[in-house]
């Protein structure tokens, strides 16, 4: 009758030796060779310790209805206006009040605005020719997924040219700018302070150079990225200057410093991948050494040896 193998188990042999022997020394060296080289290989291959990682998040952005506008004229004069009462009082001789319309839009209905539409109409006299326009819009900016960031940020739109303009339109994105990665947890309110000090009564605090200098010192800011500005010239008699645009709030890829357990998990995966190879190699080495009694051991078998020669 034909037979076939249905199941098999290995036969276990035990190799025993004293503590103060060459065999013990060999096992210690074998253990060290198994666990230490994988660490060195993984560490020297770069990226063993995860120092920075990235995640994507849709920020919560809200327009704070705070605006500052500066228009430079051909006769070296300027017109200006803002939503800050103290600034307007300081600029009485150059103040020009516009008609402002803004609208936030939530396209995907997730409860967070995806864009801001604004339209500013500045009444001008027929002889007033604007060749440079500067506009600051203030936003509240929040991140929540890892580090909870709360800050006041701004978008700065500007145009300068040799020809008087009648319309300045932008289509851009409010992009997050980081000088250093965020923390992986905690509340960060370092920059939840006004970009423009509206309480100040000094004209120097409202100068663009002062505002930009203070803003640039921050580690976390936003910047208006506009790849499609549109400028029109040829303003008709009695027509206003129009500043309009749409600012999108895109999903951001944000760098952060990983926490302890994430670093350990990432390092362990790399170490384990190399460790498996060294375990495989060292097991083959130990099998060869003990099977050939290169180091002296007492072999304990689960069955007695049976001689191949039988005498009757």
Query: What is the reported pLDDT for 89?
Result: 94
Cα 230 from Cα 156, distance rounded (Å): 16
Asked if the model's pLDDT at residue 12 lies above 90, the reply is no
Per residue, the 3-state secondary structure of the chain, as one string, reads CCCCCCCCCCCCCEEECCCCCHHHHHHHHHHHHHHHHHHHHHHHCCCCCCCCEEEEECCEEEEEEEEEEEEEECCCCEEEEECCHHHHHHCHHHECCCEEEEEEECCCCCCCCCEEEEEEEECCCCCCCEEEEEEEEEEEEEECCCCEEEEEEEEEEEEECCCCEEEEEEEEEEEEEECCCECCCCEECCCCCCCCCCCCCCHHHHCHHHHHHHHHCCCEEEEEEECCCEEEECCCCCCCEEEEEEEECCCEEEEECCCHHHHHHHHHHHHHHHHHHHHHHHHHHHHHHHHCCCCCCEEECCCCCCCCCCCC
User: Is the distance from CB of 153 to CB of 178 less than 8 angstroms?
Assistant: no
Compute the half-sphere exposure of residue 43: CA atoms within 13 Å on the CB side of its CA. Answer: 7
- ∠ CA(228), CA(206), CA(193), 5° rounding? 85
Bridging pattern class, strands 14-16 and 165-178 = unpaired
**Chain CA centroid to CA 305, Å:** 68
Q: What is the pLDDT of residues 45-85, one digit of tens each?
A: 877 888 899 999 999 999 999 999 999 998 889 999 999 99
Q: What is the pLDDT of residues 71-128, one digit of tens each?
A: 999 888 999 999 999 999 999 999 999 999 999 999 988 888 999 999 999 999 988 9
Query: What is the reported pLDDT for 305?
Result: 58
Q: What is the pLDDT of residues 248-307, one digit of tens each?
A: 999 999 999 999 999 999 999 999 999 999 999 999 998 888 888 888 888 887 776 555
Query: What is the reported pLDDT for 274?
Result: 92
Confidence of residue 308 (pLDDT cuts 50, 70, 90): low
Residues 6+ apart with CB under 8 A from 7: none
Confidence of residue 143 (pLDDT cuts 50, 70, 90): very high
Asked if the model's pLDDT at residue 174 lies above 90, the reply is yes
Query: What is the reported pLDDT for 43?
Result: 86
Cα 50 from Cα 46, distance rounded (Å): 10
- ∠ CA(118), CA(121), CA(127), 5° rounding? 150
Beta bridge partners of 60: 142
Q: What is the pLDDT of residues 182-206, one digit of tens each?
A: 998 999 999 999 999 999 999 999 9
User: Is 0.75 topped by the overall pTM?
Assistant: yes
- ∠ CA(120), CA(126), CA(129), 5° rounding? 65
Query: Residue length, the chain?
Result: 312
* Burial of 72 per CB tally in 10 Å (0-12, 13-18, 19+): middle
Question: What's phi and psi for 179, nearest 5 deg?
Answer: -90, -20
Query: What is the reported pLDDT for 180?
Result: 93
Asked if the model's pLDDT at residue 220 lies above 90, the reply is yes
Cα 129 from Cα 2, distance rounded (Å): 106
Beta bridge partners of 130: 73
Asked if the model's pLDDT at residue 227 lies above 90, the reply is no
Helices 260-291, 22-44: axis angle to 10 degrees equals 140
Measured from the Cβ of residue 39, the count of other Cβ atoms closer than 10 Å reads 15
């Amino acid at each position: 009758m034909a037979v076939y193998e249905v199941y098999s188990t290995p036969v276990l042999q035990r190799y025993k030796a004293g503590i103060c022997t060459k065999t013990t020394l060999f096992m210690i060296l074998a253990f060290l060779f198994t666990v230490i080289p994988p660490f060195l290989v993984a560490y020297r291959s770069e990226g063993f310790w995860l120092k920075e990682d990235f995640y994507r998040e849709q920020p919560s952005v809200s327009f704070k209805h705070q605006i500052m506008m500066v228009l430079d004229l051909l006769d070296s004069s300027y017109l200006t206006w803002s939503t800050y009462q103290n600034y307007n009082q300081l600029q009485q001789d150059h103040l020009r009040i516009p008609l402002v319309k803004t609208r936030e839009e939530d396209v995907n209905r997730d409860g967070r605005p995806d864009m801001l539409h604004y339209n500013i109409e500045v009444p001008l006299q027929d002889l007033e020719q604007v060749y440079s326009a500067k506009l600051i819009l203030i936003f509240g900016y929040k991140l929540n997924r890892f580090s909870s960031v709360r800050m006041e940020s701004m978008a700065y739109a500007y145009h300068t040219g040799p020809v008087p303009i009648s319309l300045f339109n932008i289509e851009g994105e409010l992009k997050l700018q980081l000088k250093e990665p965020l923390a992986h947890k905690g509340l960060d309110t370092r920059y939840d302070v006004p970009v423009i000090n509206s309480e100040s009564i000094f004209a120097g605090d409202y100068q663009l150079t002062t505002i930009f200098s203070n803003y640039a010192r921050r580690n976390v800011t936003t910047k208006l990225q506009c790849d499609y500005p549109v400028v029109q010239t040829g303003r008709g008699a009695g027509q206003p200057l129009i500043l309009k645009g749409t600012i999108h709030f895109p999903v951001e890829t944000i760098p952060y410093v990983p926490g302890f357990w994430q670093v350990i998990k990432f390092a362990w995966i790399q170490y384990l991948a190399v460790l498996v190879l060294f375990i495989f190699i060292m097991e083959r080495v130990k099998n060869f050494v003990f099977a050939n009694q290169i180091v002296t051991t007492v072999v304990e078998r689960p069955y007695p040896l049976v001689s191949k020669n039988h005498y009757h």
